[in-house]
């Protein structure tokens, strides 16, 4: 069974640009969550999608948005990039509410110059 796949693996952008990251969950998993990981803050929750609906949202500005498609694949968008957005963005999937275990992808390393 294929794991969680994130693309691209690395990304370099400049301030003010926007970026879209992609995540394909494990087959059959309907929940997809996004996390931002930095050395200073650790893993911070961005949002969770379940069956194409945003179910939970963390404390991030509106520049961070996402969506989920009918095949459970998810995208995350960051507009008007800032230097502080440089981080590892991780996607995690799980099969449903009663399964708390998260399966993470390898992440997208975003550098904002």
Partner 1 sequence: EDQVTQSPEALRLQEGESSSLNCSYTVSGLRGLFWYRQDPGKGPEFLFTLYSAGEEKEKERLKATLTKKESFLHITAPKPEDSATYLCAVQATGGSYIPTFGRGTSLIVHP
Residues that bind partner 1 (CB under 8 A): 4, 33, 35, 41-43, 45, 48, 55-56, 58, 90, 92, 97, 100-107
Nearest-approach distance from CB 85 to partner 1, in angstroms:
19
Cβ nearer to partner 1, comparing 33 with 74: 33
Residues 91, 85: Cα–Cα separation, whole Å:
16
The two three-digit tokens of residue 1, written as one number: 């069974």
Cβ nearer to partner 1, comparing 19 with 90: 90
Nearest-approach distance from CB 104 to partner 1, in angstroms:
3
Cβ nearer to partner 1, comparing 42 with 84: 42
- DSSP letters of 24-69? EPPTT--EEEEEEEETTTEEEEEEEEETTEEEEE-S--TTEEEEE-
Stated as kind and residue range, the H or E segment containing 5 is: strand 5-7
């Amino acid at each position: 069974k294929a794991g969680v796949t994130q693309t691209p693996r690395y990304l370099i952008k400049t301030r003010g640009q926007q970026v879209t990251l992609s995540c394909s969950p494990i087959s059959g998993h309907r929940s997809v969550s996004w996390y931002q990981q930095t050395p200073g803050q650790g893993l911070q929750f961005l949002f969770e999608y379940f069956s194409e609906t945003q179910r939970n949202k963390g404390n991030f500005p509106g520049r961070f948005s996402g969506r989920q498609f009918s095949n459970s694949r998810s995208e995350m968008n960051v507009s008007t990039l800032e230097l502080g957005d440089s981080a590892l963005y991780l996607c995690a999937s799980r099969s449903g509410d009663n399964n708390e275990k998260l399966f993470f992808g390898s992440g997208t390393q975003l550098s904002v110059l």
